A and B are shown apart, each in its own frame.
Chain A
Amino acid sequence: MKNWRSLLYHLSRLALALVFVYAGAVKMNDVVAFAGHVAAYQILPYALNYLVAATLPYIEFLAGMLLLLNARVRPALLTIAAMNLVFMLALLSVLARGLDIDCGCFDPGGGQDVGAGMALLRDIGLMALIVLMWQLRPCQGAVDVAAEEPSP
Chain B
Amino acid sequence: MSMMKRLTLAAFGAIAMLQVSPLQAQQATEIRLTYSQGQFQPSQVSAPADKPIAFRIKNLDAKAMEFESSSLRVEKVVAAGTEGVVNVRALKPGRYEFYDDFNEKARGALTVQ
Is chain B found bound to chain A in the same assembly? no
